[in-house]
Chain A
Amino acid sequence: MKVRSILADVRKSLGIAVWSMVLLFPLMVMKVSVTRGVAQVQFRWNFLPFVGIAGFVLSFAWRIALEWKDRRGNNKSEGTFSRVKAWSGQYFARPAVRTSALLALLSFVIAYPFLFGMYHTNIMITAFIYVILALGLNIVVGLGGLLNLGYAAFFGVGAYTYGLMWKYLGHSFIAAGIDPGWLFWISLPLAGIMASLFGILLSLPVLRLRGDYLAIITLAFGEIFRMVMQNSSDITGGATGISLIPRPWFFGHKLPPPQAATYIYFIAIVLVIITIFIVRRIEDSRVGRALEAMREDEVACEAMGINLVKNKLITFALGSFWAGIAGVIMAAQTTYINPDSFTLWESIIILMAVVIGGTGSIPGVIGGAILLKLLPEYFRALAQYRMLIYGIAMVLVIIFKPDGLIPRKRKQYTFEEKELSK
Chain B
Amino acid sequence: MALLELKDVHTFYGNIQALKGISISVDEGEIVTLIGANGAGKTTTLMSICAITPLRSGQILLNGKEISRVSPNKIVKMGVSQVPEGRRIFPQLSVSENLDMGAFLRTDKEGIKRNMEEVFAIFPRLAERRNQLGGTLSGGEQQMLAISRALMANPHLLLLDEPSLGLAPLVVQNIFEVIQKINKERKTTILLVEQNANMALKIANKGYVMQNGIIKSADTAAHLLENEEVRKAYLGL
Report which A residues bind B (CB closer than 8 A).
286, 289-290, 292-293, 295-297, 299-307, 410, 412-416, 419-420
User: A303 and B52: CB pair below 8 A?
Assistant: yes
Say yes or no for B96: interface residue by CB 8 A criterion: yes
Q: Which of B55-63, B99-107, B199-207, B228-236 contacts A (4 or more CB under 8 A)?
A: B99-107
Task: Provide 21 A-B residue pairs closer than 8 Å at the C-beta atoms, listed in order of the A residue.
Answer: A286-B104, A289-B100, A290-B104, A292-B92, A293-B101, A296-B90, A297-B88, A300-B88, A300-B89, A303-B84, A303-B88, A304-B76, A305-B73, A305-B76, A306-B101, A410-B92, A410-B94, A413-B94, A416-B117, A419-B117, A420-B127
User: B96 and A414: CB pair below 8 A?
Assistant: yes
Name which residue of chain A comes closest to B72, CB basis: A302
Minimum C-beta distance from B101 to chain A (A): 5
Say yes or no for B218: interface residue by CB 8 A criterion: no
Say yes or no for B81: interface residue by CB 8 A criterion: yes
Give complex CA distance A87, B71 in Å.
52
Give complex CA distance A296, B93 in Å.
9
Minimum C-beta distance from B45 to chain A (A): 14
Pairs A-B, 4 closest by C-beta atoms: A305-B76, A300-B88, A296-B90, A303-B82
User: A289 and B117: CB pair below 8 A?
Assistant: no
Give complex CA distance A297, B86 in Å.
12
Minimum C-beta distance from B134 to chain A (A): 8
Chain A residue numbers with a CB within 8 Å of B83 are 303
Minimum C-beta distance from B78 to chain A (A): 10
Minimum C-beta distance from B43 to chain A (A): 11
Say yes or no for B39: interface residue by CB 8 A criterion: no
User: A306 and B73: CB pair below 8 A?
Assistant: yes
Q: Which of B73, B76, B81 has its CB near the most chain A CB atoms (within 10 A)?
A: B73
| Chief secondary structure at chain A's binding surface | helix
Chain A residue numbers with a CB within 8 Å of B75 are 305
Number of contacts between A and B (CB, 8 Å)? 89
Chain B residue numbers with a CB within 8 Å of A303 are 50, 52, 72, 76, 81-84, 88, 150
Chain A residue numbers with a CB within 8 Å of B111 are none
Chain B residue numbers with a CB within 8 Å of A419 are 113, 117
Report which B residues bind A (CB closer than 8 A).
50, 52, 71-73, 75-77, 81-84, 88-94, 96-97, 100-102, 104-105, 113, 116-117, 120, 127, 130-131, 133, 149-150, 153
Give complex CA distance A305, B72 in Å.
6
| Chief secondary structure at chain B's binding surface | mixed
Chain A residue numbers with a CB within 8 Å of B120 are 420
Tell whether A306 pairs with B113 under 8 Å between CB atoms, given A297-B90, A410-B94: no
Chain B residue numbers with a CB within 8 Å of A290 are 101, 104
User: A414 and B76: CB pair below 8 A?
Assistant: no
Give complex CA distance A303, B71 in Å.
11
Minimum C-beta distance from B74 to chain A (A): 8
Chain A residue numbers with a CB within 8 Å of B92 are 292, 295-296, 410
User: A299 and B52: CB pair below 8 A?
Assistant: yes
Give complex CA distance A295, B91 in Å.
10
Minimum C-beta distance from B44 to chain A (A): 13
Give complex CA distance A306, B104 in Å.
7
User: A293 and B90: CB pair below 8 A?
Assistant: yes
Name which residue of chain A comes closest to B78, CB basis: A305
Give complex CA distance A420, B95 in Å.
15
Chain B residue numbers with a CB within 8 Å of A304 are 76, 101-102, 104, 149, 153
Name which residue of chain B comes closest to A307, CB basis: B73
Tell whether A416 pairs with B84 under 8 Å between CB atoms, given A292-B93, A293-B93, A303-B50: no
Give complex CA distance A286, B97 in Å.
10
User: B96 and A300: CB pair below 8 A?
Assistant: no
Give complex CA distance A286, B104 in Å.
8
Give complex CA distance A292, B100 in Å.
13
Give complex CA distance A42, B90 in Å.
63
Give complex CA distance A297, B127 in Å.
23
Minimum C-beta distance from B13 to chain A (A): 14
Minimum C-beta distance from A300 to chain B (A): 4
Give complex CA distance A289, B90 in Å.
11
Given contacts A415-B96, A415-B130, 17 further A-B contacts (CB under 8 A): A286-B104, A289-B100, A289-B101, A292-B92, A293-B93, A296-B92, A297-B90, A299-B88, A300-B89, A301-B101, A302-B52, A302-B73, A303-B72, A303-B150, A307-B73, A412-B94, A412-B131
User: B105 and A305: CB pair below 8 A?
Assistant: yes
Give complex CA distance A274, B184 in Å.
52
Minimum C-beta distance from B75 to chain A (A): 8
Minimum C-beta distance from B197 to chain A (A): 24
Chain B residue numbers with a CB within 8 Å of A415 are 96, 100, 113, 116, 130
Chain A residue numbers with a CB within 8 Å of B88 are 297, 299-300, 303
Name which residue of chain A comes closest to B75, CB basis: A305
Chain B residue numbers with a CB within 8 Å of A306 are 73, 101, 104
Give complex CA distance A312, B100 in Å.
20
Which of A302, A307, A413, A420 is in CB contact (< 8 Å) with B100?
Answer: A413
Give complex CA distance A286, B105 in Å.
10
Tell whether A420 pairs with B84 under 8 Å between CB atoms, given A286-B104, A292-B92, A305-B153: no
Give complex CA distance A307, B149 in Å.
17
Minimum C-beta distance from A311 to chain B (A): 10
Which of B71, B91, B101, B116 is in CB contact (< 8 Å) with A416?
Answer: B116
Give complex CA distance A306, B116 in Å.
19
Minimum C-beta distance from B80 to chain A (A): 9
Give complex CA distance A295, B97 in Å.
14
Minimum C-beta distance from A285 to chain B (A): 11
Name which residue of chain B comes closest to A305, CB basis: B76
Give complex CA distance A286, B99 in Å.
12
Chain B residue numbers with a CB within 8 Å of A305 are 72-73, 75-77, 104-105, 153
Give complex CA distance A410, B96 in Å.
13
Name which residue of chain A comes closest to B98, CB basis: A293
User: B81 and A292: CB pair below 8 A?
Assistant: no
Chain B residue numbers with a CB within 8 Å of A300 are 84, 88-90
